[in-house]
Structure 1
Amino acid sequence: MSSLPSSPGHVVKKRRVERRERLCKSAICKHFDKPGGCPFPNCKFAHGRAEVNDKDPHSVAAQRKLIREQAIHRAEEQFQTRDEGAVTSKRRGTMIERYYTEMFSCDTMGKPMEDQYVHMHSNRLCVVGVAESHPVMQEELVSVEFSRNVLENHVTGKKKKGGCFMLPNTMICVLKCKSGRDFKLYSCIRGSLIEVNKRLQTEPELLKQKHQSDGYLIIIQPKKVEVAEIQESLLSKDEYKQFRAISKANAELIEKAAEIASAEAVTLEEEKQEFRGCTNGEADSTY
């Protein structure tokens, strides 16, 4: 006798149970530090830092540990004097270098050189904007037109609930240039939309002049369990520099090869014309 197919509700419940068991001991119990202790005998949360299971890279504890380690690494790099002979301040680097993990999305949506940055703060909030290598930096920007769902976004409460959920291919806005070119910008990551920089509607020049500070596009809050996945999907600052250096060198090689090919084509055409002139002259002399 064949078994009956399970209902959709049963499948959803089973997934929830599996996820809860997988994330077991990944967070500290809220009642553990209270005077009476934890009242639950079979508590599935960790009682102290020693019991926290942060080996699973997709657990909440592992994500928080990753953010803490990156913050400590930035602090060690930016607050140390590297030049012993020079008189320099111990507080090195910009605000973004000190408090944000800089990441980049190169050739967004398959469009060459249309790069965007995603700067993740130690509180997990991500600032999305236009990278310095984007072609719009060489254009005269006229306007920034945000999409309707982005402009109508509304969050409430202390935890900013109610924001629309963004996907990597969700369009944020369209940049219109004086030359007639248009550039579409995208979210690049998954998360809840927290804030939109509406100043760009009245001051579009901020996107070029202060693209990393006042010229940002939006602020997104990703899910806790997707922090590592987001960082793996984007390029770090060093990887971004290497990628752009290689692409620039390849572009220069292609340009030089095109110049050589065009020069050879011109010389070949000139030789053909000379040969034709010589043959015509010989034919006239025979007559």
Structure 2
Amino acid sequence: MEPGSAGLEQQEDDYDSAAYLAEDVKNLPERPVPAVQRNFTQYFALDVNGIQGHDQYIYRHPNGLCIVGLAPSHPALQPGRNIQRVDFNLKKDGKGHEDMKGKLKRNAQPLQANSHLCKVVMDDGMVFNVRYGLQGVLLEKNSRLAEDSKLLQDKAATEGFLAILMPRPEAWVQTEKNLLSLEQYLLQKGSVVPSG
């Protein structure tokens, strides 16, 4: 073996393995797949709490956490409508839901599917009372919406989410039976796709 030939063989091996590791540029999607689609199973609840058109999404992570928000077919998100504010202060004393603190979220609030989550107030005076849609524990509400309600209209499926919940396993089994998959939702609601 000639001096330096071992280094040359190593370079050739690295070059060959790089060809297997790199994706074929011609087959890459035009846009990266959104994190919501990569990491969550997307479900939709129609007519939440029996109110016509009050549709919500529930994105469930493999660890059980659920993100809740307004589905694209919700009347508040229709073209030509403008959200004035999102109000999480629903208790009579005006304090609303407490923020959870700490790693274990010790003061997380248990809630029912029909518990009030927030009010979405439109600029025409219309008010939509939004429910959680599933039973579990509230881990976080999206307080950014109180400062920037446009997130709910412009990025409803991502930054405009309403809350993060941890459903009880037995409650999730019951809830899941009444939810639609993304494909079923699109079949029922037409070509409406989540924004954001």
TM band (smaller chain): 0.7 to 0.9
Change (3 A) 1:230 1:161: farther
Richer in strand (by share): 2
Matched length? 162
Contact 1:153 1:193 in 2 (8 A): no
Cα distance in 2, alignment partners of residues 155 and 203 from structure 1: 21
Richer in helix (by share): 1
Partner of 2:74: 134
Cα distance in 1, alignment partners of residues 90 and 124 from structure 2: 25
Contact 1:126 1:219 in 2 (8 A): yes
Partner of 1:193: 138
Which aligned pairs between 1:1-287 and structure 2 lie closer than 5 A? 87-89=26-28, 93-138=33-78, 139-148=81-90, 151-245=96-190
Cα distance in 2, alignment partners of residues 236 and 105 from structure 1: 9
Most deviating of 193-202 and 103-112: 103-112
Cα distance in 1, alignment partners of residues 40 and 75 from structure 2: 24
Cα distance in 1, alignment partners of residues 56 and 136 from structure 2: 16
AA aligned opposite 1:141: I
Most deviating of 230-239 and 100-109: 230-239
**Shift, 1:200, TM fit:** 0.7
AA aligned opposite 1:128: V
AA aligned opposite 1:243: Q
Percent same amino acid among aligned pairs? Answer: 28
Partner of 2:8: none
Cα distance in 1, alignment partners of residues 129 and 151 from structure 2: 17
- Structure 1 spans left out of the alignment, 5+ residues: 1-80, 246-287
AA aligned opposite 1:98: R
Cα distance in 2, alignment partners of residues 230 and 163 from structure 1: 20
Q: After superposition, what is the alpha-carbon deviation per residue over 1:15-47, rounded to whole angstroms, capped at 9, x for unaligned?
A: xxxxxxxxxxxxxxxxxxxxxxxxxxxxxxxxx
**Shift, 1:92, TM fit:** 5.7
TM (norm. structure 1) is 0.52
Which structure has more RCO (C-alpha within 8 Å, separation ≥ 6)? 2
Larger Rg: 1 or 2? Answer: 1
What SS does structure 2 have at the residue aligned with 1:87?
helix
AA aligned opposite 1:121: H
Contact 1:151 1:196 in 2 (8 A): no
Cα distance in 2, alignment partners of residues 190 and 88 from structure 1: 42
- Structure 2 spans left out of the alignment, 5+ residues: 1-22, 191-196
Q: After superposition, what is the alpha-carbon deviation per residue over 1:164-192, rounded to whole angstroms, capped at 9, x for unaligned?
A: 11111111111111112111111000100
